[in-house]
């Protein structure tokens, strides 16, 4: 018994067990929950959040934090929509350039974020929080507070076209997840994230350019934020300053609930997938069983405390600040 109930095992499998338990609970409460159509709805709602969460996963593995996602998403969404419309507004023209352009903007945003953090030696939470505000301000400047509608049917087919009952965007998100997994497990930079998060001094002493790893980490996160922005625009058809609204809370909650430790070095993209699904299953399930929506924030809060509790080795901590 005690062999299986080790902290490591619990830490590894608890998120998945929680997800399964939630699905069983909601299905028992309302059988409609357990249907392909509903899972399509849950995954559809989850795609933008999954992209943001994948980005922040790398940062958290490094032991840093990034709070700039709301600003980054707003900037990427607005730049994408503005460029897309000015280049023709339909995907089968030069407007497709807006898609890679958004990713470039995301990476530049991440680059600046990383440089501010590393070069100016500002703690990552403060550097990224400030950059987030800069992003919100920038997108507001570009839009003047207006919303930009993207109505091209080909672009919107990400939402409206379905293969095997799931919209196209879900498959593209799956592809991005595989890319993230590849970065994490098959590339040097992926391993370096764990090295930095596991013990920065050691990594530095082994000759690793920690600052470079950090900056690249923020750039990769920026690209995923841009992907999240694209999916968010595809889902709603609107790009605005508020496109990224609430994504900070949702993404960090997802990553933590998925079992990636805030101290760095532990966890990964699959944890994040489970975490995002937990958060979205709760959001969907609460409504499906007829509870008021604001209860869900409370439940999520409790889950975060539980997740952090499980992922913390208290013996190794002299104090908590």
Partner 1 sequence: MSFIRKFIEQETINRRKFLLASAMGIGGAAAAGAFGAGPVRAALTDPTIAWSYRNRTNPYWNEIVSGGEAFVESMGKPKGDLVHLINDGSSEKSLADVKALLAKENGNVALAIDTNDAPNCRPVVEAVAASKGYVSTIWNKTDDLHPWDFGDHYVSHMTWSDLGPAEQTARILFDKMGGKGGVVGLGGIASNNPAIERKQGLLNAMKDYPDIELLDYQAADWDTQKANQIMSSFLTRFGDEIKGVHCANDTIGYGVLEALRAEGLQGVIPIVTYDGNPQAVELVIKGDIEATVFTNPHWGGGITAALAYYAATGLFKPSDEPHASREFYGPTIMITPNDAKAFKAEYLDSVPTYDWKDFWGPGNGQIHY
24 vs 178, which CB is nearer to partner 1? Answer: 24
∠ CA 42-44-45, nearest 5°, is 65
- By CB under 8 A, tell whether 38 contacts partner 1: yes
**Which one of 6, 35, 92, 185 is in contact with partner 1 (CB under 8 A)?**
35
Phi and psi dihedrals of 162, rounded to 5? -125, 140
35 vs 92, which CB is nearer to partner 1? Answer: 35
SS3 315: helix
> For residues 256 and 307, is the Cβ–Cβ distance under 8 A?
yes
> For residues 54 and 177, is the Cβ–Cβ distance under 8 A?
yes
**Which one of 5, 292, 309, 314 is in contact with partner 1 (CB under 8 A)?**
292
Distance CA 41, CA 280 (A): 10
- By CB under 8 A, tell whether 75 contacts partner 1: no
Is residue 156 classed exposed, middle or buried when 0-12, 13-18 and 19+ CB atoms within 10 A define those classes? middle
Is residue 239 classed exposed, middle or buried when 0-12, 13-18 and 19+ CB atoms within 10 A define those classes? buried
155 vs 270, which CB is nearer to partner 1? Answer: 155
- By CB under 8 A, tell whether 154 contacts partner 1: no
Contacts with partner 1: how many residues (CB under 8 A)?
A: 42
**Which one of 287, 301, 313, 317 is in contact with partner 1 (CB under 8 A)?**
287
Binding marks (x or -) toward partner 1, 222..251, rule CB under 8 A? ----------x--xxxx--xxx-xx-----
Question: In the numeric block, which tokens belong to residue 94?
Answer: 């030069």
Binding marks (x or -) toward partner 1, 257..286, rule CB under 8 A? -----------------------x--xxxx
Cβ at position 236, least distance to partner 1 in Å: 5
- Helix count (H) and strand count (E) of the chain? 13, 4
Cβ at position 8, least distance to partner 1 in Å: 35
DSSP class of residue 89 equals: S
Cβ at position 180, least distance to partner 1 in Å: 22
Helix (H) or strand (E) holding 234: helix 210-236
Residue count of the chain, please give it.
Answer: 321
169 vs 203, which CB is nearer to partner 1? Answer: 169
User: Which DSSP string corresponds to 22-57?
Assistant: HHHHHHHH-GGGSSHHHHHHHHHHHHHHHHHHHHHH
Helix (H) or strand (E) holding 279: helix 269-288
> For residues 149 and 84, is the Cβ–Cβ distance under 8 A?
no
Q: What is the CA radius of gyration of the chain?
A: 20
- By CB under 8 A, tell whether 288 contacts partner 1: yes
9 vs 32, which CB is nearer to partner 1? Answer: 32
- By CB under 8 A, tell whether 10 contacts partner 1: no
Q: Which stretch binds partner 1 (CB under 8 A): 122-130, 176-184, 203-211, 287-295?
A: 287-295
**Which one of 10, 41, 111, 122 is in contact with partner 1 (CB under 8 A)?**
41
> Restricting to residues 120-149, which ones interact with partner 1 according to CB under 8 A?
136, 140, 144-147, 149
Q: Using CB under 8 A as the criterion, which residues of the chain lie in contact with partner 1 when the complex forms? A: 30, 32-33, 35, 37-38, 41, 44-45, 136, 140, 144-147, 149, 156, 159-160, 167, 232, 235-238, 241-243, 245-246, 280, 283-290, 292-294
């Amino acid at each position: 018994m005690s062999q299986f109930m080790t902290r490591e095992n619990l830490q590894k499998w608890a998120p998945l067990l929680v997800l399964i338990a939630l699905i069983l609970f909601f299905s028992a409460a309302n059988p409609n929950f357990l249907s392909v159509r509903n899972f399509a709805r849950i995954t559809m709602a989850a795609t933008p959040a999954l992209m943001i969460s994948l980005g922040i996963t790398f940062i958290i593995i490094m032991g840093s934090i990034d709070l700039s996602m709301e600003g980054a998403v707003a900037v990427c969404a607005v730049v994408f929509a503005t460029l897309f419309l000015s280049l023709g507004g339909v995907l089968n023209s030069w407007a497709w350039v807006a898609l890679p352009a958004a990713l470039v903007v995301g990476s530049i945003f991440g680059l600046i974020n990383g440089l501010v953090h590393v070069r100016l030696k500002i703690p990552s939470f403060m550097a990224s929080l400030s950059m987030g505000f800069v992003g919100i301000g920038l997108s507001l400047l570009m839009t003047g507070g207006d919303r930009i509608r993207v109505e091209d049917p080909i672009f919107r087919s990400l939402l409206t076209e379905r293969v095997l009952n799931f919209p196209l965007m879900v498959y593209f998100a799956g592809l991005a997840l595989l890319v993230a997994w590849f970065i994490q497990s098959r590339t040097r930079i992926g391993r370096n994230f764990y090295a930095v998060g596991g013990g920065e001094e050691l990594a530095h002493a082994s000759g690793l350019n920690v600052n470079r790893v950090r900056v690249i980490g923020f750039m990769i996160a920026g690209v995923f934020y841009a992907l999240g922005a694209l999916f968010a625009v595809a889902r709603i058809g609107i790009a605005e300053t508020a496109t990224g609204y609430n994504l900070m809370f949702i993404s960090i909650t997802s990553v933590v609930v998925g079992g990636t430790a805030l101290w760095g070095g532990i966890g990964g993209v699959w944890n994040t997938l489970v975490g995002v699904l937990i958060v979205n299953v709760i959001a969907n399930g609460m409504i499906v069983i007829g509870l008021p929506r604001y209860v869900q924030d409370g439940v999520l809060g409790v889950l975060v405390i539980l997740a952090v509790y499980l992922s913390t080795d208290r013996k190794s901590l002299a104090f908590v600040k």
